[in-house]
Structures are given as C-alpha cells and as structure tokens.
Amino acid sequence: MEKTFLLSVTHELKTPVAAVKLQLETLNSEGLTESQKAQLLKTALRETRRLQDLTENILLATRLDNNHQGIHKELISLRTIVYQEAERYRSLHGLKVEINDEDEGRMHGDFQMMTSLVSNLLDNATKYGGRELVKIHLSKKDHHVILTVADQGQGIPDNEKDKIFTRFYRIGNEETRSSKGTGLGLFICATVVRLHHGQISVSDNHPNGSIFAITFPA
C-alpha cells in the first residue's frame, strides 16, 4: 500500500502542476478575451487549491504519526468551519451542498485539524457522491456535538466499511479506480476524531450513498 501511495502522490502532484503550468502559459498568450482569462485563472486557482489540500494532508498525516505532537485545542465553532469548507467546495468544485445547522457546534478542538476533517469528508463527497446533493447536519444531543455528511453516490460495501479508515487504503484496484486520491483522507479523519475523543462511523444512505457520522464530547 505504501508503494501505491507513493505512486499516487507523485501522480496527484504532477497532474495539478502540469495543469497550472498550462493555464499560466495560455494566460500569457495574446488576444484572449476577459472571460477566457477569468476562466483560465479560475481553473489555475482550483488546481492550486488541490495541491494545497494534498500537501496539507501529507503534512498532517506526518504530524499525526509523530506521537500526536502539536495539537492545539481552543474553543471553536464547528458551524464556522462547516460553512467555510462547504462554500469552498461549492465555488471551486461545484459541489451541491445543503447545511442544516441546529447547533453552533462549539467544542474544544484544533481549528486546523477540524478544518481538515470537514475538508476531507467534502472532498470524498465531491469525488464519490455522483454529483448529487450532499447534506450536512450539525446538532447537539446529550452533551455531544454530532456532525453527519450524507451523499447519494455509489456507497461503500459492508466488508469495506472498517478498512477505509486505514492509512493508504482505497477500495478497488489501480485498474478499476477512476477517482484520484492517496488513501490518506479518512485515515486523517479517524485520527483527528480520536485525538478529540470522538467517534466516527459510516452507514448506508437510502436509497443510495453513504452517511459519515461524527460525535464529539462538547
């Protein structure tokens, strides 16, 4: 899995770098209309952001490996993070997302890690959600903050539900997989949740898709 990981990281790095280079070279040519320039810039920005997310995931995974150093907890609002990340995926990747925020989601948490958690769940919803509406629900019950992210994509078979939280694990094989990824996302989610004394689980959405549910002590 480590070998596959290195291969996919190299691939994941090469693709956006090549794309940004191409956008910038085209931008540099003459005779472009304002709207063409705007479109090129938008794509370059989106690809740059992908690169940033990828490097953040790799750095965070390394940080989590090193005996959990550097966790910085403060009073945060999960609602703020959810809105910020939903807006980012909406504008950059065209994700259709609906937020039902019954609660502010105040808790003691590491802002950067919690941002990464929400970002990774939305990244997966974008990649595997079949371009259908994604529903986020934030609530509070019995001194616990509950966050769920429900997509209407291909879903996750029962025999894969535990494995997907393992580092580098991706369902299927190199030939059958069409989506990009490194297999780090859900490992990061699970580790961040554990460091915040929470729980993460996945279940089936109906009629199709997956629901990721996370609970934190408030």
Stretch that binds ligand ADP, among 23-31, 63-71, 108-116, 150-158 (CB under 6 A): 150-158
Pick the binder of ligand ADP from 135, 183, 191, 215 (CB under 6 A).
183
CB 177 to ligand ADP: min, Å: 7
What tokens appear for 72 in the block? 């910085």
Q: Residue 157: which residues within 8 A CB-CB, separation 6 or more?
A: 171
Q: Which of residues 27-56 bind ligand ADP (CB under 6 A)?
A: none
User: Any contact of residue 198 with ligand ADP (CB under 6 A)?
Assistant: no
Name the phi and psi angles at 15, rounded to 5.
-60, -55
User: Any contact of residue 210 with ligand ADP (CB under 6 A)?
Assistant: yes
Distances in Å between the Cα of 214 and the Cα atoms of 61, 80, 174 are 19, 17, 30
Neighbours of 80 (CB within 10 A): 15
Q: Which of residues 72-131 bind ligand ADP (CB under 6 A)?
A: 120, 124-125, 127-128
Amino acid at 93: H
User: Any contact of residue 171 with ligand ADP (CB under 6 A)?
Assistant: yes
User: Any contact of residue 151 with ligand ADP (CB under 6 A)?
Assistant: yes
The sign one gets for the Cα dihedral 183, 50, 127, 113 is positive
Binding site for ligand ADP (CB under 6 A): 120, 124-125, 127-128, 151, 153-154, 156, 164, 169-171, 181-187, 210
